[in-house]
Structure 1
Amino acid sequence: MKRTHWQRKDVSEHYLEQVRGGIPYGPDQTKMMLNVINHFQTSPRTVIDVGCGNGFLAEILLQMYPRASAILIDHSEPMIDAAKEHMRQYKDRCEFLLADFSHGLKQVSTIDSVDCIVSGFAIHHLPDEQKQRVYQQIYDLLADGGVFINIEHVASATPQVEALHDQLFIHHLSTYNNRHYEDVEQEYHERPDKEDNILQRVDIQVDWLRDIGFQHADCFFKWMELSVFGGVK
């Protein structure tokens, strides 16, 4: 992965403080993640969080599955630092890796060994060829019956739908942060990390998963450009 704005402390802090909690239907996305994982893996022991941010998804999984341990990987040092702070109470069950997952995941764990791999708003920063490579490596790391769930920012079908997504997303952020819509709108469209987004439609990505060999690959939740999708090895 090329150097991104997410490696800047100010960008990471802004996201964690003003955006992450204001993402529309965030609780519904994580609830769906848990529903799918629990349907196929009632007691996962090994978890990897790819592009972990502050460890939000890993935290949910360690709360839900007290026998599980997690590896959290991110290419952003400010995000890894935030994850270490956020996950202090789970430090005995966590390993933190500052690494560029676009270069590969084989160093993270052994093949056919992981029960559950999740990712939240991270893989969309990769070009399509690298996305597919990461999905293949995720498949390789999973044990039989292992589950992959990606909570992700995906492309709209048309520019008009994208414009609607932006409008609704900005409204959510302005309400969450109790700020004027116009101020949030300007900040949203001028945000430095926008150029890091390389979005692809969710239906295309689900087809990639099926081609790799994932079973039950599907989009399990979608609101505009926010999607929960994945599959089972």
Structure 2
Amino acid sequence: MATTNWQRGDITTHYLEQVRGGIPFGAEQVNLMLNLVHHFCQNPKTIVDLGCGNGFLAEVLLRTYPDASAILIDHSKPMIDAAKEHMSRFNDRCTIIHADLSESITSLIEQNEVDCIVSGFAIHHLPNEQKKELYHEIYSLLSNGGMFINIEHVVSASAKVEELYDDLFIQHLASHNNKNVEEVAKDYHNRSDKEDNILERVDIQLDWLRDLGFNHVDCYFKWMEIAVFGGVK
């Protein structure tokens, strides 16, 4: 199991309570995820949430599709604990697994059987070679017509663009938490989990998906360093 700052309870609590809800255009990203699933999968029965956090994306999908079941995977024990609590009402419809995305997940899930695989701000913690290997495994797990949707943190085109992204993101967090911008900026720039980010350009990741055989590959939404992208098997 990889050791990252996300094994710390204070990091996960801060993210769930003060960051996740303050991500710019978060509601629009989730709504787009639902539109994509409905358009390509229509009525998924098997869902996988990779790097599930507290299970927010899986929860939205299980609420939308009452006949579906979900497998939730995360390497962070505090996140797994949060998911077990948050998803307790779906106990009969979800399986929560403590596992590392840097290791093969194919033994945990039936191949060619999954209708929809989603991930939210998790895969960017993997080195690029491991990202590509995970995308390969995702392709093998999906059923024909199954869809992969990644709501993800990607790298900016330049340091100057990253500077603007940071400033705008800080303003969103300050407004969401009703805090002073300078206080939020100090916490943001000094946050411990920043060292766990291994970001890559979205266009490069789209090429990886195309090379694996995914269809309808696109970046369906992008705001600065936040992107929603994926494809269909």
Cα RMSD over matched residues?
A: 0.7
Amino acid at match of 1:217: V
User: Residue 85 of structure 1 corresponds to which residue in structure 2?
Assistant: 85
User: Residue 161 of structure 1 corresponds to which residue in structure 2?
Assistant: 161
Matched, 1:136 2:119: no
Higher alpha-carbon deviation: 107-116 or 23-32: 107-116
Partner of 2:129: helix, strand, or coil? helix
CA distance in 2, matches of 1:101, 1:21: 24
Q: TM-score, normalised by structure 2?
A: 0.99
| 1:183-233 residue CA offsets vs partner (Å, 9 max, x unmatched) | 000000000000000000111101100001000010000000000000000
CA distance in 2, matches of 1:118, 1:205: 15
User: Residue 203 of structure 2 corresponds to which residue in structure 1?
Assistant: 203
CA distance in 2, matches of 1:99, 1:105: 8
Partner of 2:102: helix, strand, or coil? helix
Partner of 1:73: helix, strand, or coil? strand
Partner of 2:53: helix, strand, or coil? coil
CA distance in 1, matches of 2:55, 2:127: 24
User: Residue 232 of structure 2 corresponds to which residue in structure 1?
Assistant: 232
User: Residue 55 of structure 1 corresponds to which residue in structure 2?
Assistant: 55
CA distance in 1, matches of 2:56, 2:102: 21
Partner of 2:48: helix, strand, or coil? strand
CA distance in 1, matches of 2:206, 2:138: 14
User: Residue 11 of structure 1 corresponds to which residue in structure 2?
Assistant: 11
Amino acid at match of 2:88: R
Kindly tell me the number of residue pairs found equivalent between the two proteins.
Answer: 233
User: Residue 45 of structure 1 corresponds to which residue in structure 2?
Assistant: 45
Partner of 1:71: helix, strand, or coil? strand
Amino acid at match of 2:77: E
CA distance in 1, matches of 2:101, 2:107: 9
Runs of 4+ in 1 over 3 A off after TM superposition: none
CA distance in 1, matches of 2:108, 2:30: 24
- 1:208-223 matches, cutoff 5 A: 208-223=208-223
Amino acid at match of 2:55: G
Q: Percent identity?
A: 63
